[in-house]
Amino acid sequence: MSKAVYPGTFDPLTRGHLYVIRRAAKIFDSVIVGLLNNSAKNPLFSVQERMDMIREVTSDIPNVEVVSFDGLLMHFVLEQKANVILRGIRTGTEFEFELMNAHANKKIEPEVDTLFFPCDSDFSCVSSSMVRDVAAYGGEIRDFVPESIAEKLYLKLEEKKKQEKEGQ
Ligand code: COA
């Protein structure tokens, strides 16, 4: 059985990520969205909130599962009994960086391959932080993230603003 892990921080998941997940689900028997519990990035959404959002927008894809992990990606991949790591590629610069990571992961476990997935050109400029920035200044983000995630992001940013005001 072919099983791929698509890892990331997903703070929040974008339409670019969703494109990769949907395409991958047609290629692999099973796709695990591996949500990294990455405190270094100081995420806006909690792990649970991010998992719930991804589960909601992928609920129509039966072979996609969302699982969170800490620590080394390769340990998670082996724990999941997956044989492929999927990484979306938006630009040439990103490819170089991802290639280095793929080599490092290959040294850790030679039996697991990294596959690069070209992103949809419509989303090559989209990233989670770009979406958070645009939303924070009241910009329109529905072209970049699914509707339900856009609503949660606007609400979250409002909550955060309120808390910051109260803390002053
Ligand atoms: N569409 C839109 N945006 C995309 C995208 C796509 N298809 N693919 C990536 N991105 C964006 C993300 O939104 C994110 O944007 P941001 O920086 O503005 O938040 C950025 O690209 C990179 O994010 P992501 O792909 O989620 O990677 P990451 O850096 O958060 O995490 C891991 C990558 C999880 C693979 C890596 O950090 C990891 O493996 N960590 C575990 C520790 C480990 O094993 N280290 C050794 C690795 S060799």
* Nearest-angstrom CA–CA distance, 86 and 117: 7
Q: Is residue 58 part of a domain?
A: yes
Query: Is 77:108 a contact under the CB 8 Å cutoff?
Result: no
The CA 46 to ligand 1 mean position distance, Å, reads: 16
Spatial separation of the C-alpha atoms in residues 80 and 90, rounded to whole Å? 26
pLDDT at residue number 78? 98
The residues, any chain, with a CB within 8 Å of residue 41's CB and separated by 6 or more, are 9, 11
- pLDDT tens column, 69-120: 999 999 999 999 999 999 999 999 999 999 999 999 999 999 999 999 999 8
30 in any annotated domain: yes
Number of structural domains, the chain? 1
Q: Assess if residue 141 is contained within a domain.
A: no
Mutate to test the pocket of ligand 1, among 11, 17, 115 (most ligand atoms within 8 A of CB): 17
67 band by pLDDT with thresholds 50, 70 and 90: very high
Which residues sit with their C-beta closer than 6 Å to ligand 1? 7-9, 11, 14, 16-17, 20, 36, 38, 72-73, 88, 90, 101, 104-105, 119, 123, 126-129
Within a domain: 154: no
User: Residue 37: which CATH number?
Assistant: 3.40.50.620
Does any domain span residue 42? yes
Domain containing 7: what range? 3-124
pLDDT at 165 over 90: no
> pTM of this prediction?
0.94
